[in-house]
Structure 1
Amino acid sequence: MNDERLTVALAQIAPIWLDRQGTTKKICAYVADAAKQGAEFICFGETILPGYPFWLDLTQGSRFNDDVQKDLHAYYVAQGVDIEAGDLDSICEAAKQHQIAIMLGCLERPSDRTGYSVYCSCVYINAQGEIGSVHRKLMPTYEERLTWAPGDGHGLRTHGLKNFRVGGLNCWENWMPLSRAALYAQGEDVHVGIWPGNLRNTEDLTRFIAKEGRSFSIAVSGLMRRQDFPSDFPHIDKILERCPDILANGGSCIANPDGTWLIEPVIDQECLLLATLDKNEVRRERQNFDVAGHYSRPDITRLVVNRERQTLVRFEGE
């Protein structure tokens, strides 16, 4: 086994929208297929399990105390992922069975925050089927704030995978310089940006992150088309009234540490994209610029990261 090379897979798929069990089965099938093709690491898009809240922009999501929005949110929360209750167990088992690491975007509804608030979370699962970190998106973007709660720094971590260190951020977090810096400083040399989809998000930023971090930069996106909405979904008529044919067109891609394309963005199709990364390419590009190493000045500017998991109450004693 060559620990200096890592074969990665990008699963650009549409979810079985807001069907946690159905989407989990689809994810496990892609995990198995990727492993069969020799992948050692597979990545999925933002909240692919069970899906992105596309209704917000189509149904006047900001209307306060509105019965339609309450119905839709309640349905969404019920399909969220309770990690402590075992909702990721079958995916973890697939990772272990096929000896493949996974970066997965999911809608997390943690019991330690009542189980009724949901978070956009990026979950890393190692090849032994163990969850290494759960990163809750620090700041939901624009209308996402109507349904997702803001996260914390607990999951700002990188993980060893062969001779690589991998890390990931959710969607527009990839635009946040300090969030990127928190990962760079931990030796990240494979950066994974997970997105709900769309070329406009991935075509520029993916290459920029590669050139800034002198790392391999992966963008993995979901797909969502008008026909992907289930016909029996609550208030589906209101959603489809203003719904375009394409809501998320993909754009998954990989940039080399010098900013050139390893895989150019792919749109408008479900697919499994594979590539092999060479650790020596990271070393070569760090020769003249190492953003958290020889080109940093921690005596002048430094970043402090609070990794404490946020909670309302801490009980002491019996």
Structure 2
Amino acid sequence: MVQFKTVKVGVVQATPALFDLEASVELVIRWIEKAAQAGCRLLLFPESFIPCYPRGLTFDAIVGRRTDKSRDLWLDYWANSLEETSPYVQKIGEAVKKAGLFMALGVTERDPIGGTLHCALFYFGKDGTFLGKHRKLKPTGLERYIWGESDGRTLVSFSTDLGRIGGLICWENYMPLARTALYQQGIDLYLAPTADSRDSWQATMQHIALEGRCFVLASNQFVRKADYPERYQPDLVNEPDIMSRGGSVIISPLGEMLAGPLWNQEGLLTAELDFATLAKSKLDFDCVGHYARNDVFKLEVVGQPPIQNI
């Protein structure tokens, strides 16, 4: 008889050290340690936890014109973003290895060739190895001013002893074909780091769990206006005191809330995932199996790499 495993997972909802790369890395390491103490085998951080999601800042964006103010703010954000080969990534990897867990970390990544920034999800194996990354396919709204676009080459997924893992960032999760590109690879653990703290985001996460028949882990930051550096306070006068209230959550393949949503505070959400639920959920719906209708629909994903075996 098949023996179904259980896996304890964790989702971080925390406040980064905004615009401070070194301090943000130290925060990441502390949360990794907390997750290890809690017995987590998989840990997810929010979108752009390093160096922050710059909510509320306009980057002095004016159609057809850039300003010295916008370039100065861009430089600050750029200088505190993370390169894949940075010693900071190695330092984070060492903490992951010590904790012995699989981790996905939301960062703003600086491309060493040319210097473009990308909203990215960095993956680490439990031995601390940097496994790969997903870059956001389509930044939303004014994000397009500060982040570049990606392509199918970073629609990655990983086959691990925990299950098959992959994910999309924030409003990429509203892209049906991007979701399907992951479903087709048999995702068990679907990661959704975000900056969206609306109530409606919970419905989106619940829908994805039910649609993909997968566990969904969604992680957001908790950020107050007072957490921003003093130099940016004048730009935030019209913003609310709580700028991101969180809403991190863990959901089962049948749409049940296993942990969260967590609002208006920092915290580590954890849940024991019973993989028998994955199998049972396929009885009446399997979007890449008996419900797929491959005789009618076909999806070609340009450049998507095969599942990596970890």
TM norm structure 1? 0.90
| Alpha-carbon offset, residue 230 of structure 1 | 1.5
Match of residue 284, structure 1, among 277, 280, 286: 280
Map 1:209-248 to 2 at 5 A.
209-231=208-230, 233=231, 236-248=232-244
| Alpha-carbon offset, residue 299 of structure 1 | 3.2
Q: Identity, % of aligned pairs?
A: 32
SS in 2 for 1:159: strand
TM norm structure 2? 0.92
Q: 2:158 aligned with 1:150, yes or no? A: no
C-alpha distance in 1, partners of 2:89/2:123? Answer: 11
- For structure 1, list consecutive stretches of 5 or more residues without a partner in the other structure: 310-318
- After superposition, the C-alpha distances for 1:204-234 in whole angstroms (9 at most, x for unaligned) are 1110001101111111111111110122x3x
Map 1:187-266 to 2 at 5 A.
187-200=186-199, 202-231=201-230, 233=231, 236-266=232-262
Q: Which residue of 1 aligns with 2:122?
A: 123
Are the equivalent residues in 2 in contact too, given 1:96–1:127 (CA < 8 A)?
A: yes
C-alpha distance in 1, partners of 2:4/2:70? Answer: 49
Are the equivalent residues in 2 in contact too, given 1:223–1:270 (CA < 8 A)?
A: yes
C-alpha distance in 1, partners of 2:97/2:4? Answer: 19
| Alpha-carbon offset, residue 245 of structure 1 | 0.7
Are the equivalent residues in 2 in contact too, given 1:197–1:249 (CA < 8 A)?
A: no
C-alpha distance in 2, partners of 1:308/1:118? Answer: 21
| Alpha-carbon offset, residue 256 of structure 1 | 1.0
CA RMSD across the alignment? 1.8
C-alpha distance in 2, partners of 1:308/1:219? Answer: 23
C-alpha distance in 1, partners of 2:160/2:199? Answer: 30
Q: Which residue of 2 aligns with 1:96?
A: 97
Q: 2:67 aligned with 1:71, yes or no? A: no
SS in 2 for 1:219: strand
C-alpha distance in 2, partners of 1:254/1:296? Answer: 26
SS in 1 for 2:34: helix
- Counterparts in 2 of 1:56 and 1:240: CA distance versus 1, 3 Å: closer
SS in 2 for 1:204: helix
| Alpha-carbon offset, residue 87 of structure 1 | 3.1
C-alpha distance in 2, partners of 1:8/1:255? Answer: 11
SS in 1 for 2:250: strand
C-alpha distance in 2, partners of 1:92/1:202? Answer: 31
SS in 1 for 2:186: coil
Aligned pairs, number: 302
- After superposition, the C-alpha distances for 1:51-72 in whole angstroms (9 at most, x for unaligned) are 0122434x64336211111110
C-alpha distance in 1, partners of 2:81/2:177? Answer: 29
| Alpha-carbon offset, residue 183 of structure 1 | 0.7
- After superposition, the C-alpha distances for 1:132-155 in whole angstroms (9 at most, x for unaligned) are 221110000001111111111222
Are the equivalent residues in 2 in contact too, given 1:225–1:245 (CA < 8 A)?
A: yes
SS in 2 for 1:203: helix
Amino acid paired to 1:247: M
| Alpha-carbon offset, residue 10 of structure 1 | 0.8
Amino acid paired to 1:128: D
C-alpha distance in 1, partners of 2:86/2:26? Answer: 17
Are the equivalent residues in 1 in contact too, given 2:154–2:304 (CA < 8 A)?
A: no
- For structure 2, list consecutive stretches of 5 or more residues without a partner in the other structure: 306-310
Are the equivalent residues in 1 in contact too, given 2:170–2:196 (CA < 8 A)?
A: no
C-alpha distance in 2, partners of 1:174/1:69? Answer: 29
Are the equivalent residues in 2 in contact too, given 1:167–1:188 (CA < 8 A)?
A: yes
